[in-house]
Structure 1
Amino acid sequence: MNVLRAAIEVARFLEEQEVRYFMIGGLALQHWGEPRLTRDVDVTVLVDPEDLESFVDRVLERFSPRIADTKPFALRHRVLLIATDQGVPVDISLGIPGYEEEAFARAVWVKFPAGEKLRLVSPEDLIIHKCVAGRPRDAEDVESILIRQRLRVDLDTIRQWLEAFRPIIDTHDPLAFFEQALTRARRSLETGGDL
């Protein structure tokens, strides 16, 4: 099971469909933070609302669904759960206008060792996603990104969006989550810590 090959397969399909995308999750973390094993592909797409059903249909014509009633689930929860020909799980998040449009503008093309280029989420937006999710492993990931990037990220953009997301997240405070990870990363860098 080759996750990079699966990501390339999905990316080429999206490019053929002229759908804007960026890779997020394990592949992006391997590039921006501390590499760790990933078994799936996470990708965010931006599709016009009037084209959403048609897009889901085209994806399901090309890739295998991972759950029953995939289309209704995707339209309701805004995530399309599929698998590549090699059986690699892929989560396609159906982005919404607003934040995601800005995230697409910040996404970058990255060349991988195989010579293939993929569009990756920016380190700032990967941090934002991790802070919104707020799991213990996400805190470690945020810290690793900050350390690997040696704090050279747009802190204002991160704080602005986390402040905007505060009212809609009832499980934790995403901005406080970030500030705690930032404090730990600074401390680690000051004491000579590195990845």
Structure 2
Amino acid sequence: MNKLDGALKDIQDFLKSEDIPYMIIGGIGNLMWGEPRMTIDIDVTIHISDIDENDFIKKVGSRFKILIEKPLDFVKKTRVLPIEITEGVKGDIIFAGLDYEKKAIEQSVEVEISKNNIVRVCTAEDLIIHKAISEREKDWQDIEGILLRRGDLLDKKYILSWLSQFASALDKPGIKKRFEGLWKDIVKVESSKNKNMHYWKEDDERGT
């Protein structure tokens, strides 16, 4: 088991032992649904409702190294707790606050990323939504990779529904428009190519 696999197991074992709903996002999510890129960080979104944040942070600190001073103040301001999970592998624990994030955690899925290593990750659709909201160029490149890999398997209606809501709430109409443009340029084009290949194969089989 390499460092990343070990760190994934450690953070998940901890969250499960505390009975905290979670999902892995970020680079690990991209590894599962898009075009893999090197990552040594782990981003995990959690939902705590019946647990005091300060008590939870203390439990995290008893198991992992917290990388900032005054972690409670930092979490209240940013909703993120930076930690070192194992030597050389850092992670961000993200505290869900939006109803959308809670729903995304509920519908996250378990996937096998390596032998005997099961990881609970966000769906491909929710990874796209997370990345579109960030508006970083590298995240849009990741979205292109997800569209190329998943194509028509994606629930476009679900993605557009949430992007519409975030575009309005954040006053960022461009995120929905850009996604629709990528869908047209990538998914529709790939679907058309696959359909043509199917027809050519049928013609070859008929000898025409």
- Same structural fold, with TM-score higher than 0.5 when normalized by the shorter chain: yes
Could you say which residue in structure 2 is the equivalent of 1:159? Answer: 160
Could you say which residue in structure 2 is the equivalent of 1:68? Answer: 69
Could you say which residue in structure 2 is the equivalent of 1:106? Answer: 107
Residues 86-134 of structure 1 show CA distances to partners (whole Å, capped at 9, x for unaligned) of: 2311011101241012102221011222312111000010000010011
* Letter of the 1:11 counterpart: Q
**Identity of aligned pairs, percent?**
31
Please list every run of at least 4 consecutive aligned residues from structure 1 whose deviation after the TM superposition is greater than 6 angstroms. none
- SS of corresponding position for 1:67: coil
Higher alpha-carbon deviation: 29-38 or 85-94: 85-94
| Count of aligned pairs | 193
Could you say which residue in structure 2 is the equivalent of 1:137? Answer: 138
Could you say which residue in structure 2 is the equivalent of 1:14? Answer: 15
Q: Find the aligned partners of 1:81 and 1:126 in 2 and give their Cα distance.
A: 20
Q: Is the 1:74–1:81 contact (alpha carbons within 8 Å) kept by the matching residues of 2? A: no
Higher alpha-carbon deviation: 58-67 or 7-16: 58-67
Could you say which residue in structure 1 is the equivalent of 2:40? Answer: 39
Specify whether residues 145 and 66 from structure 1 end up closer, same or farther in structure 2 by C-alpha distance, changes over 3 A only. Answer: same
Q: Find the aligned partners of 2:16 and 2:95 in 1 and give their Cα distance.
A: 16
Residues 2-38 of structure 1 show CA distances to partners (whole Å, capped at 9, x for unaligned) of: 2232121101100011001110011110110101101
* Letter of the 2:162 counterpart: W
Specify whether residues 114 and 161 from structure 1 end up closer, same or farther in structure 2 by C-alpha distance, changes over 3 A only. Answer: same
Q: Find the aligned partners of 1:178 and 1:4 in 2 and give their Cα distance.
A: 32
* Letter of the 1:124 counterpart: E
1:177 aligns with 2:158: no
Structure with greater helix share of residues: 2
Specify whether residues 139 and 64 from structure 1 end up closer, same or farther in structure 2 by C-alpha distance, changes over 3 A only. Answer: same
Could you say which residue in structure 1 is the equivalent of 2:5? Answer: 4
Q: Where does the alignment leave 5 or more consecutive residues of structure 1 unmatched? A: none
Higher alpha-carbon deviation: 65-74 or 76-85: 65-74
Higher alpha-carbon deviation: 123-132 or 68-77: 68-77
Q: Is the 2:53–2:72 contact (alpha carbons within 8 Å) kept by the matching residues of 1? A: no
Aligned-residue RMSD, C-alpha: 2.0
Specify whether residues 190 and 152 from structure 1 end up closer, same or farther in structure 2 by C-alpha distance, changes over 3 A only. Answer: closer
Residues 50-95 of structure 1 show CA distances to partners (whole Å, capped at 9, x for unaligned) of: 5322212211221111122222101221001000132311011101
- SS of corresponding position for 2:153: coil
TM-score by length of 2: 0.85
Q: Where does the alignment leave 5 or more consecutive residues of structure 2 unmatched? A: 195-208
Higher alpha-carbon deviation: 14-23 or 180-189: 180-189
Q: Is the 1:140–1:181 contact (alpha carbons within 8 Å) kept by the matching residues of 2? A: no
Shift of 1:190: 5.0
Residues 112-164 of structure 1 show CA distances to partners (whole Å, capped at 9, x for unaligned) of: 22312111000010000010011111111111111111221111111111111
Could you say which residue in structure 1 is the equivalent of 2:148? Answer: 147
Q: Is the 1:144–1:185 contact (alpha carbons within 8 Å) kept by the matching residues of 2? A: no
* Letter of the 2:168 counterpart: P
